[in-house]
Amino acid sequence: MATPFPETVTQDSLFVWIMHRIQEVFQDHAVLKGGMALRLLDSPRSTNDLDYIFTPYASKKDILGDLKDIVDEIPDTKIDISLHSKSIRVNIFHSKVSTQIKADVDSACKSQAISTSFYARRVNEPARVIRIMDFSTALAHKLAAWNELLDKLSLWL
């Protein structure tokens, strides 16, 4: 049974609904990473989007239909989906709340199970167990992104 869409939509309730629906549809093949994964660990880090890696897929087009079906369930919402070289970006505009889903695909991604209880409880939703990127993998990805940024900055200096 699909998670019902919340009657009162806030940024947090929209995030929880999307995380839970993606878990229902993709199960263990959807791995959350980035700022929202940290929020689930009670980090005060703020985020405005949900970053996912879907495994094991060879092409982002393999997940596009299911991802589109999920966001199409959100009532009274403007959806903008764009395909980029390595990812899908889904911009969601609902009333005064907006967010983005960034979806990448890979053959594998080391992950671990975590409950959404800390975050879901804030919007009076039941908890679910979802997958987040393994901590050591997440740190390696973050360090690689920082190095990439430093390389780009050095070109300007």
Predicted TM-score (pTM) of the model is 0.89
CATH node for 11-156: 3.10.450
Q: State the amino acid at position 96 in one-letter form.
A: K
Q: What share of the chain is helix, strand, coil (3-state, %, to 5)?
A: 40, 30, 30
Pairing of strands 97-105, 49-54: parallel
Q: What is the mean pLDDT of each run of 10 residues along the chain (157 residues)?
A: 81 95 97 90 84 96 97 94 93 93 96 94 94 87 82 77
Q: Any residues with CB less than 8 A from the CB of 78 and at least 6 apart, and which?
A: 92, 93, 94
